[in-house]
Structure 1
Amino acid sequence: MSIGNHDYVVGETRVNAFHLLILFWCSMLMTFDGYDLVIYGSVLPTLMNEWKLSPVIAGIIGSSALFGMMIGALTLGSSSDRFGRRRVILVCLIIFGIAALANGFSQTSTEFIVCRVFTGIGLGGMVPNIVALMAEMAPNSKRNIMITVMLCFFSVGGVIAAFTGKVVTPAFGWRANFVIAGLPLLAVPLLYRWLPESITYLLANAKFEEADRVLRIIAPSLRRSAASLAPLNAQANGNPSKLRTAQLFTEGRGRNTILIWIGFGMCMLMVYGLTTWLPKLMVANGYSLGSSLSFLLTLNAGAVLGGLASGWLADRFGGKNTLVLYFTVAAISISALGFKQNEYVLSALLMLAGATTIGTLCLVHAFAAIAYPAHIRSTGVGWAAAIGRFGAVAGPAVGGYLFAQNLPINVNFLFFAAPGIIAAIAFILTSGKTEEPKSTSATVASAD
């Protein structure tokens, strides 16, 4: 495209303050997500003792948020393609904020489970939408890194949850942690004022005045009005009136959709299975409990570094190549954890395992966002995340079953490593159609 004869499209702009503002708000939302999901584990020992919960009930409560996330991803996660990103994000924030706050006032395990389900619904609906919004607003050259940076804040929220669980619970009781979880509700007015709506949604719904305001900020060199770009945007995004879920399988997308679902499921199986059972497995392998808990921290430290690196690598070498590399390294490093290692090798393996499992979860969301056009983007990411939750539920459950069989420890680790190979093969088989940043909805077509 000649700069002298054409205006820049949104996706070809350089990162400016407006992009960073969007990144800030979306990262803050991911921090809430990480806090709300991890806080249960932080208060679980106290809660089990106070309410005399059986391990079975405690496990059901733990799974209830994941179940809710599946519902939220399938409903609210895909609804913004019709109702707008910002509106659905705010609704999700209100849902999980109220539900998390209500957890602090629960009197029975049943009430607690209901609140956790609604917390999961809000979180499950929010994540696909902030991923889709970030994908649509980020410049093409920085899209992967901006999405993965945002998603890395899930781990930041988890660290905050661990800290408050350790400091707040002894001083104020476990309920205070959920009062903190309700604080995101205070951000609703700020997000309503500052979080922008998707350009593609605004054009598709003839909201040209608002679209013009956003375009002038995000692409100052654009000289055409939003109204003149609407026909080009409609042509690029196809027919939005068709059933959006069905469009995940039309126009040659069906194969990639199934393969992306497999990749999501395998990734979440490794993430939730490994983080749940790593301390137990390491103790069974001869390490002390204190060391095993430190190993979990090392795993999550690697996740942050791996998530950040994955975006940088994907922007340079492609998301597909980076995912195949990460899943292969994950399989190798997790397999090696099943054998006794010296301190330095073990730490390196844990860092690699965290980087290429939890860290990869950031990149698979970015990959799915880029794989679909704007009018079905949140639908595509929402369905992939929902299907992936089957892997999230299966990981801890099957891992517990294998552990109960008293199998050799290396066999347990091999179980968590195998999904990495399956996921790598799945992404190898995806077509190149997922690597088309200029045709994704994050851009608005330009003309002479």
Structure 2
Amino acid sequence: MRTIVNTIAGQGGTSVSGAVTKGSIIARIERLPANALQVRARLLIGAATFFDGFDVITIAATLPLLIQKWGLTPGQVGFLIASGSIGQLIGAFLFPSLAERFGRVRSIAWSSAIIGVTSIACGFAPTFAVFVALRIVQGLGLGGELPVAATYINEITRAHGRGRFVLLYEIVFPIGLLASNALGAWIVPRFGWQVMYLIGGAPLVLFFLLRKLVPESPRWLGERARMADADRALNAFEASVKGPLPALTNLAEYESMAHRHPKRRRLDVISPAYLKRTIAVALLWMTAGVIQYGLSTWLPTIYETVYRAPLQLALNLAVAASVLGVLGSLICALIVDKVGRKPVINVSFVLCAISLALAGVFHAQSVYVVATCCAFALGFMACGFITAYVYTPELYPTSIRAFGCGLGGAWLKVAAIFAPALVGKTLASGHLDTAFYLLAAVPMLAALAVHFLGIETKGKVLEQLEA
């Protein structure tokens, strides 16, 4: 084991030196002020997350033309939307498992490569069947990138200000949704649907950059007993800090945190210690899947077919909803460390439910009334859901953190598989109001689950939150 010599200010003010341990890794992370390497990691991994959001919602902007191109029925449209979610469901388990074994950064790089290659291939898909197959394969990367990226960003961040740091990174996902909708509204009517998928191939570049420019998670390296590698990763972060580093303090306390609980196995996410947390996480992520895929991806098509809005207007209204999603996410990032995770999630989801219920009440009004209700619903949903990316990793220990996040992502994908078909059936039967009411019930149920089953995590070291 490689040793380091650090001046450690203990409780008595004496100086000691020691080996790299799990406790010293935590202590060094907790003393890290904001630094250039953290910013670089947030930008590069943020780019992967941006294109995750971009590619996952590209189908919404291109769907009206795909329906015309292949003469798709409502059932085929529902299957097309859900097809990506099938791959994402597999990816939500596959890549977090790879991240636990091979590292967070490698897993993110691999998932980015799959996203990029398959997006480009989608632009050249000759038939509906080939397009669906490519969407399934692309889903592997889309489903795996987000939970692993959220895990990594949480693990390199100290407790103080972690919510704001993580969520300012996570805002790139709704920005990716917005960019996809905005570019789609401009590009698709002018240049065709294929161009959107060619742009979505950009994450392929990250496969070659991430491992060279971003250090591995020191917490994960410490968990794998790779102390020399953890030391090198920490040295890289510390070297990018401007000015002298604060002295290490309370090392004994951090050492106690690191060894307070045994190493967890994956099945422990459903053990008595974590079952309540896992139920809350499941309903939280399922809500995002139902609303994002059951509503957001359908909106341009609903506006065009039900309300007879021109394609350009339908796409523009979807862009407006994405703008509110970004604004809601930004507000959330600024208040989450002060208000707490649970209140942000609960209030946001209740307001989302109310907005969807109002869309059902006023479904017979003009497209602008319904679009306004849906835009607020998506804005509130984004505010609550983005909090899941800081909240979920906080609920599990390092040994199963990526897997716990992946499990949450898997519930999102399960919901995403069935929600589009539900909306498709209600559209075919002419009961759009029923769809809105059913959608409204989901975030209300999730808010209740988080309130009664979740724990508050703001301001605590990750190891303090282990059950």
The yes-or-no answer on 1:414 pairing with 2:414 is no
The whole-number CA distance in structure 2 between the counterparts of 1:215 and 1:257 is 31
What's the counterpart of residue 18 of structure 2? none
Q: Which residue of 2 aligns with 1:65?
A: 84
2:86 corresponds to which letter in structure 1?
F
Structure-2 residue corresponding to 1:446? none
Find the aligned partners of 1:294 and 1:112 in 2 and give their Cα distance: 25
Is residue 356 of structure 2 the alignment partner of residue 337 of structure 1? no
Instruction: Kindly indicate whether the alpha-carbon contact (under 8 Å) linking 1:79 and 1:379 is maintained by their aligned counterparts in 2.
Output: no
User: Could you tell me how far 1:56 is from its partner in structure 2?
Assistant: 3.5
1:187 offset after TM fit, Å? 2.6
Aligned equivalent of 1:425: 448
**How big is the shift at 1:234?**
5.3
Task: Give me the whole-angstrom Cα distance separating, in 1, the residues matched to 2:315 and 2:437.
Answer: 21
Q: How far did residue 429 of structure 1 move?
A: 1.2
Does structure 1 residue 77 correspond to structure 2 residue 89?
A: no
Q: Which residue does 1:181 correspond to in 2? A: 200
User: Which residue type is aligned with residue 369 of structure 1?
Assistant: P
Deviates more, 1:256-265 or 1:146-155: 146-155
8 Å CA contact 1:337, 1:410 repeated in 2: yes
User: CA offsets, 1:175-217, max 9 Å, x none?
Assistant: 3433322232223222121122111121223333332232234
Q: Structure 1: which amino acid aligns with 2:381?
A: T
Deviations 1:315-357 (CA, angstroms, capped at 9, x unpaired):
1121012111111111222222334589999887555322211
Partner of 1:272: 293
1:134 aligns with 2:153: yes
Over 3 Å counting, the alpha-carbon distance change for 1:37 and 1:347 in structure 2 is closer
More displaced 10-residue stretch of structure 1: 378-387 or 251-260: 251-260
Partner in structure 2 of residue 389 of structure 1: 413
Deviations 1:34-78 (A, max 9, x none): 222222333334344444444443432322111111100012123
Q: Distance in 2 between matches of 1:339 and 1:353?
A: 14
- 1:256 partnered with 2:280: no
Amino acid at match of 1:322: V
Shift of 1:288: 4.8
| Gap change, CA 1:347 and 1:396, over 3 Å in 2 | closer
The answer on 1:322 being equivalent to 2:341 is no
Tell me, in whole angstroms, the C-alpha distance in 1 between the residues paired with 2:203 and 2:346. Answer: 36
Q: 1:308 is matched with which residue: 321, 326, 330? A: 330
* Distance in 2 of aligned mates of 1:128 and 1:323: 18
User: What is the one-letter code of the residue matched to 1:366?
Assistant: V
Q: Is the 8 A contact 1:269 1:392 kept in 2?
A: yes
C-alpha change, 1:349 and 1:390, in structure 2 (3 Å) is same
Which of 7-16 and 327-336 deviates more? 7-16
Counterpart Cα distance in 2 of 1:140 and 1:196: 20
Q: Deviations over 1:229-249 (max 9, x none)?
A: 997675256325xx32x1112
Contact 1:271 1:358 in 2 (8 A): no
Indicate which of 367, 371, 375 corresponds to 2:391: 367
Q: Paired residues, what number?
A: 436
Change over 3 Å in CA distance of 1:294–1:52 after alignment to 2? closer
Change (3 A) 1:4 1:64: farther
My pick for the range that moved more, 329-338 or 313-322, is 329-338
**What is the match of residue 403 of structure 1?**
427
Q: Distance in 1 between matches of 2:415 and 2:361?
A: 25
My pick for the range that moved more, 34-43 or 379-388, is 34-43
The 3 A distance-change label for structure 1 pair 357 and 207 is same
Structure 1: where are the runs of 5+ without partners? Answer: 444-448
**Distance (whole Å) between structure 2 residues aligned to residue 163 and residue 294 of structure 1:** 7
Which stretch has the larger CA shift, 375-384 or 189-198?
A: 189-198
Contact 1:92 1:126 in 2 (8 A): yes
TM-score by length of 2: 0.82
Other-structure match for 1:208: 227
Using the size of structure 1 for normalisation, the TM-score is 0.85
Mind listing any 5+ residue stretches in structure 2 that lack a counterpart? Answer: 1-9, 16-23
Percent of residue pairs identical = 25
Distance in 2 separating the partners of 1:285 and 1:40? 19
